Amino acid sequence: MGVSLGELAVRFGCELRGDPETQVDRVDTLANADSRSLAFVANPRYRQQLASTKAGAVVLDAASAADCATAALVCGNPHATYARIAAVLHPPPPAPAGVHSTAVIAAGARIDPSAHVGALSVIGEGAVVGPRVFVGPQCLVDEGAMLAEDVRLTARVTICRRVQVGARTIVQPGAVIGGDGFGFAPEGGRWIKVPQTGTVRVGPDVEIGANTTIDRGAIEDTVIEEGVKLDNLIMIAHNVRVGAHSALAACVGVSGSTTIGRRCMIGGQVGIGGHLAIGDDVIITGCTMVSHSIPRPGVYSGGIPLEEAHVWRRLVARFKRIDSLATRLKALERHTLGGPDQEEDDD
Amino acid sequence: MGVSLGELAVRFGCELRGDPETQVDRVDTLANADSRSLAFVANPRYRQQLASTKAGAVVLDAASAADCATAALVCGNPHATYARIAAVLHPPPPAPAGVHSTAVIAAGARIDPSAHVGALSVIGEGAVVGPRVFVGPQCLVDEGAMLAEDVRLTARVTICRRVQVGARTIVQPGAVIGGDGFGFAPEGGRWIKVPQTGTVRVGPDVEIGANTTIDRGAIEDTVIEEGVKLDNLIMIAHNVRVGAHSALAACVGVSGSTTIGRRCMIGGQVGIGGHLAIGDDVIITGCTMVSHSIPRPGVYSGGIPLEEAHVWRRLVARFKRIDSLATRLKALERHTLGGPDQEEDDD
Amino acid sequence: MGVSLGELAVRFGCELRGDPETQVDRVDTLANADSRSLAFVANPRYRQQLASTKAGAVVLDAASAADCATAALVCGNPHATYARIAAVLHPPPPAPAGVHSTAVIAAGARIDPSAHVGALSVIGEGAVVGPRVFVGPQCLVDEGAMLAEDVRLTARVTICRRVQVGARTIVQPGAVIGGDGFGFAPEGGRWIKVPQTGTVRVGPDVEIGANTTIDRGAIEDTVIEEGVKLDNLIMIAHNVRVGAHSALAACVGVSGSTTIGRRCMIGGQVGIGGHLAIGDDVIITGCTMVSHSIPRPGVYSGGIPLEEAHVWRRLVARFKRIDSLATRLKALERHTLGGPDQEEDDD
C-alpha cells in the first residue's frame, strides 16, 4: 500500500525535502531500507547512517536534515511522527465486523454490530462489547465486563467479571485483568479468604503487556488511568491506582493499595511496597526496591551494578563488616583526636 | 440478598450492638458505606472513621466498639469475621451443574454430576473432576489430572497431565500447574532435555494466583501443602515443597528442590536459590535474595531502600571502593596504635 | 514398556555391568527405585546411596561404578545418558496425526498430514504447521506463523502473527511469542504507540518455559538462536538476540535491543538493561542487575545475601552513611599522616 511523501507531509505536518510523488510502502531501519521504505532518526547516534541510507525517505528533525542523502520529512518530534506514519503503512490486519461462529456468546451479552469477536472467544452474561472493538481469538470477556469503543484484545486475553476497559485500550495476549486480589485474614495459623468485591477500571488509551496481571480491588476498585502503558509480566495488586500517562517496564510489581502518580516512569523489575504514595513525575530506575513513599518528583535508584564474582564476593564480605569498620573508625578518631565523638548519632 | 444483623451475629459468634432486624446486602468501606452496607475495622488507623460512618453495621473488636456511631458486630478477629460475612453477602456467581455444550470431554474422563465445566474447556483422558468442582471457561484439565471436591478453576487455568489438586483449592486465570521443570544435562556445549517424570501435588485450601507457574517434578513430585497461598506471577520450580499455610507474595521465584517450611511469609519479588531449606515460621521481606538455607524462625531481609539517583550513585561508588576503605583504615590503625592488626581475620 | 539393559547399553554406548536380559520400565530416584526402575548418579553427593539402592540398574560414571550394589550402565556423562534413556522409557503421550474436530483452521493454513492439532486450537490464515508438529489443546498459531518439523506446543501456547519457530522446539503452556514490543514515543506528556513491525525468529532445539513472553521486534526481528533454554516467566523484550545454547533461569528480564552471547548462563531474577552486549560464555548469578555491557567471559554477581532483619537494618543504615565514613577516614589520614591526600581520586 504505497503512500506518497507529499500526502504524508501534509497529513503529519512535516516539511518535505524531496519529490512529493515518491511512494513508500513500509518502514525499515536506515541500514536496511530500500527506495520503497521509510526510515527515521530520533537518536543522534544514528545520524551518521544518513549519508549512506538507501531509504525512500527519512523522518528526522531539522538538525539532522542536512546530513540526509535522500528525501526527508522534517518535523519536531521524529519518533512520534514516525510512529504515526508506521501505523498508516502497517495497519493491524483487517477484522471483519461480526462474531465468529465458534465464539460462545451469552444470551444477555450486548455486542455492537461493528465489533469483531474472534474464534473460540467467550462473552459472558451482561458483558458489553462496544463499537469497533476487536476481540481476538480465545479471549474471555466475563459477566458484566465492559469494553468501550475501539478496544483491542489481541488474543487469549482474560477480562474478568465487571471489569471496565476504556476506549482504544490495547491488551496483549495472556494478560489477566480482574483476578482476585491477594486478600486473606489470619486466624489461628490459617488464612481466611477475603472476598474481593471490587473490580478493575482501566482508562482509555492504555496498553497492557503480555501475561501482565491486574487484580480486582478488595472493596473499592483497582484503577489504571488514561494513557498508562504497562509492559509484560507486571503485577498490579488490588486497590492500586496508576496515574495517567505513567509507563511501567516489564516485571515490575506494585503491592496493594499503593498509588502511583501521573507521568511516572518505572524501570524494569522495580518492586514497590504496599500502601505507599508515589507522586507525579517520579522516575525510578530498574531493579530498585521502593519501601517508602516518594512525595517529590525526581529520579530515584536502588540497584547496584554487578562485578566479576570474585570482586563482588569481597565487596559483600566487606559490606557485611561495615559496622565493625564504623566502630573501629570511631575508636581511632577518639584515640587520635580525643574529646567527644565526631558523629554523635553514629550508633 | 439481605441478611439480618441478628442472623449474622448468631452465625458468626459476634456480640451485636444494634437492632437485630437491620438488614445488610453488601460490604463497603467505612467511608462509602450506606445503611444497607456492612463495613469493618481491623486496623486502628481507620478507627477514627467510626464516628462518621453511615454503614448499616460495622464488624470490629471490643476496643473499637465504643467509637462506633452505628450498629456493631463485636468479635475477636474482625478481619476474619468480615471475610466470612463478605463471602455470604457476595457469593461467587451460581454455576449450574453440568458440562457446557462447547467443552471437549475425553471419553475416559470422570466428571461428577454436581460439577460445572464451562465453555470451551478441555477435560483429558482419565481426568477426574470431583463433586461441586467449578471449571470456568477455557480451562484445560489434561490427561489423568485430578480435581478434588469443590476445587475452583476460575477461568483459563492449565492443569497439566497427572497433576492433583486438593479440595476447595482456588486457581486464578492464567496459572499453569505442571509444566515441565527446567531440567537439562550439559553435553558438549549443548543441553539435553531431562524428561520431567514427576507431577505436582497441590493440597486442599490452597490459592494460586494469576499467571503463576508451578513446574512438575523431575522424578519425584513438586508439592504445595494445604492452606498455602500463592500470589500472582510466582515461579515454583521442580521438586520444590511449600509447607502448609505459608503465603508467598507476587513475583517470588523459588528454584528447584528447595523446601519452604510451614507458616512462612515471603515478600514480593524475593528470589530463593535451589536446594535450600527454609524452616517453619520464617518471614522474608520483599526483594530479598535468599542464597543459603534458613534453619531458624525469624524475620530476614536483604533489600536496600532507594535514594535520589545522585545520592545513590555516590553511595554505590563508595561501596565499590569499600575494600580500599578497609585497607586504609587498617593501615591507619597500625600506624597510630602500632603492634599487630586490630582485626586478624580482616583479609 | 520394558527395555533390556543390553539394548540400552548398545544404544547409548554404555559399558554394562550386570545381566543384559534385565528389563527396566521407568526411572526413579536411587532411594525409591525398585527392580524395574532405572536410577542415575551424576552428583558424587548421592554416591553413598549406591550401596543400598534397589534399582534394576544405575547409570553412572566409572568412578562410581565400584560402589554400586546393582547392575550399572557405565558412561562418561551419566546425566545426559540418563536423560536420553528416560526419554525412551517415558515418551510423551502419543498424539494421533490429524486435526481435532473442534480446532479452527483458516482456509489458507497449511498443516502437514503428520501433524497433530489439538482441541480448540486456532491456526490462522497462511500459517504453516510442519511435519510431526504437536499443537496441544487451546493453542493459537496466528496468521502467517510457521512451525518447523517436530515443534511441540504443549498446550495453550500463543504464537503471534508471522512468528517462526524452529525444528524440535518445545513451548510450555501460557508462553506468548510475538506480542507487541513496548515501543512508545513521548509527545506532549503522552505516549504514541510505535507499531512493532518486526517478528520473532526462534531457532531449532529451543525450549521456552510456561508464561514466558518474547516480544516481536520494532522493525527488525527478535531472535532466539538454536538450543537456547528459557525457563518460566522470563521477559525477552523487542529486538533482543539470545545466542545459541544459552540458558536463562526463571523470572529473568532482558530489556530491548540487548544481545546475549552463546553458551551464557543467566541465574534467576537477573535484570538486564537495554542496548547492552553480553559476550559469549558469560555466567551471571541470580538476582543480579546488569546495567552495562559484559564483553569478557567470566562469572559475574550483584546480589547481597540476606541477614536477620535487625542485622540487615544496621548494615543498611551504615551503608547509607558510607560517604561520611569515607570523608572521616580521609580527614583522619590527613591529620595523622599529614601531606597530600592518600587517594587523589577519592572525591
ipTM of the complex: 0.96
CA distance A44 to chain B (A): 25
Residue B193 sits in a domain whose CATH number is 2.160.10.10
Same structural domain, C137 and C13 = no
Give the chains touching C; criterion: ≥3 Cβ pairs < 8 Å.
A, B
Same structural domain, A55 and A181 = no
What pLDDT, on a 0 to 100 scale, did the predictor assign at position A344?
Answer: 45
Residue B68 sits in a domain whose CATH number is 3.40.1390.10
Question: Catalytic: which of B238, B275, B292, B310?
Answer: B238
Is the C-alpha dihedral spanning B216, B217, B220, B221 positive or negative? negative
What pLDDT, on a 0 to 100 scale, did the predictor assign at position B342?
Answer: 47
What are the DSSP E strand ranges found in A217-281? 222-224, 229-230, 235-236, 241-242, 247-248, 253-254, 259-260, 265-266, 271-272, 277-278
* Cross-strand bridge partners of residue B111: B129
The CB density around residue C113, as the number of other CB atoms within 10 Å, is: 8
Give the chains touching A; criterion: ≥3 Cβ pairs < 8 Å.
B, C
Question: How far is the C-alpha of B241 from the C-alpha of A287, rounded, in Å?
Answer: 28
Q: How sure is the predictor about A339, in pLDDT bands with cuts at 50, 70 and 90?
A: low
| B265: contact with A, CB 8 A cutoff | no
Enter the C-alpha cell of residue C330: 580521609
List of chain A residues whose C-beta atoms are within 8 Å of the C-beta of residue B174 = 158, 174, 176, 179, 211, 213
Nearest by CB to C120, from A120, A307, A310: name it: A120
- Which of C34, C59, C89 is the last residue before a domain boundary? C89
Q: Which residues of chain B have pLDDT under 50?
A: 342, 344-347
What pLDDT, on a 0 to 100 scale, did the predictor assign at position A315?
Answer: 97
CB contact under 8 A, B318 and C322: yes
> A42-56, A203-217, A228-242, C241-255: which has the minimum mean pLDDT?
A42-56
Question: How far is the C-alpha of C345 from the C-alpha of C329, rounded, in Å?
Answer: 14
CB contact under 8 A, A195 and B90: yes
- Which of C69, C89, C109 is the last residue before a domain boundary? C89
Enter the C-alpha cell of residue A173: 495476549
DSSP code for C47: G
Same structural domain, C281 and C315 = no
Helix (H, G, I), strand (E, B) or coil at A312: helix
Same structural domain, A226 and A273 = yes
What pLDDT, on a 0 to 100 scale, did the predictor assign at position A345?
Answer: 47
What pLDDT, on a 0 to 100 scale, did the predictor assign at position A111?
Answer: 98
- Whether B295 is in a domain gets the answer yes
List of chain C residues whose C-beta atoms are within 8 Å of the C-beta of residue B292 = 305
Give the chains touching B; criterion: ≥3 Cβ pairs < 8 Å.
A, C
- Whether C305 is in a domain gets the answer no
Same structural domain, C252 and C336 = no
CA quadruple B213, B216, B220, B223: dihedral, nearest 10:
30
What pLDDT, on a 0 to 100 scale, did the predictor assign at position A346?
Answer: 45
- Whether C160 is in a domain gets the answer yes
- Whether A337 is in a domain gets the answer yes
Q: A196: part of which helix (H) or strand (E)?
A: none
What pLDDT, on a 0 to 100 scale, did the predictor assign at position A45?
Answer: 86
Query: What are the mean pLDDT values of chain C's consecutive 10-residue runs (347 residues total)?
Result: 93 97 96 96 90 96 93 97 97 92 98 98 98 98 98 98 98 98 96 97 98 98 98 98 98 98 98 98 98 98 97 96 93 84 48
Question: Catalytic: which of C79, C100, C238, C275?
Answer: C238
- Whether A13 is in a domain gets the answer yes
| Chain C residue with Cα closest to A154 | C179
Task: Give which of C139, C232, C308 to mutate to test B binding, by max B Cβ within 10 Å.
Answer: C232
% of chain A with per-residue pLDDT over 70 = 97
* Cross-strand bridge partners of residue A51: none
- Is 60 exceeded by the pLDDT of residue A276? yes
CA quadruple C328, C329, C334, C335: dihedral, nearest 10:
70
* Cross-strand bridge partners of residue B289: B271, C305
- Whether B134 is in a domain gets the answer yes
- Which of C64, C89, C114 is the last residue before a domain boundary? C89
| C327: contact with B, CB 8 A cutoff | no
**Residue B147 contacts by C-beta under 8 Å, 6 or more apart in sequence?**
B127, B128, B129, B130, B133, B135, B141, B153, B159, B165
Same structural domain, B273 and B192 = yes
User: Crossing angle for the helix pair C309-320 and A322-337, nearest 10 degrees?
Assistant: 50
Enter the C-alpha cell of residue C240: 533482543
The CB density around residue B310, as the number of other CB atoms within 10 Å, is: 10
Question: How far is the C-alpha of C109 from the C-alpha of C129, rounded, in Å?
Answer: 8
Same structural domain, B231 and B286 = yes
Same structural domain, C115 and C253 = yes
pLDDT tens per residue across span A148-196: 999 999 999 999 999 999 999 999 999 999 999 999 999 999 999 999 9
Q: Write down the residue that cell numbers 503491592 correspond to.
A: A255
How many Cβ pairs within 8 Å bridge chains B and C?
225
Question: How far is the C-alpha of C117 from the C-alpha of C98, rounded, in Å?
Answer: 6
Same structural domain, C286 and C248 = yes
DSSP code for C305: B
What pLDDT, on a 0 to 100 scale, did the predictor assign at position B15?
Answer: 97
Mark which residues 130-169 of A lie under 8 Å from B by CB: 138, 140, 142-143, 156, 158, 160-161
Same structural domain, B146 and B231 = yes
What pLDDT, on a 0 to 100 scale, did the predictor assign at position B346?
Answer: 46
List of chain A residues whose C-beta atoms are within 8 Å of the C-beta of residue B325 = 318, 325
Same structural domain, B190 and B321 = no
How many domains does chain B fold into? 3
| B194: contact with C, CB 8 A cutoff | yes
- Whether B306 is in a domain gets the answer no
State the residue range of the domain holding B323: 311-347
- Annotation says C90 is catalytic: no
Helix (H, G, I), strand (E, B) or coil at C284: strand
CB B221 within 8 A of CB B198: yes
Question: How far is the C-alpha of B84 from the C-alpha of B238, rounded, in Å?
Answer: 35
What pLDDT, on a 0 to 100 scale, did the predictor assign at position B45?
Answer: 86
Same structural domain, A276 and A331 = no
Nearest by CB to B102, from A104, A255, A324: name it: A104
- Whether C323 is in a domain gets the answer yes
Instruction: For residue C130, give the nearest of C141, C138, C119 by alpha carbon.
Output: C141
pLDDT tens per residue across span A129-140: 999 999 999 999
Q: Which amino acid, one-letter code, is at C164?
A: Q
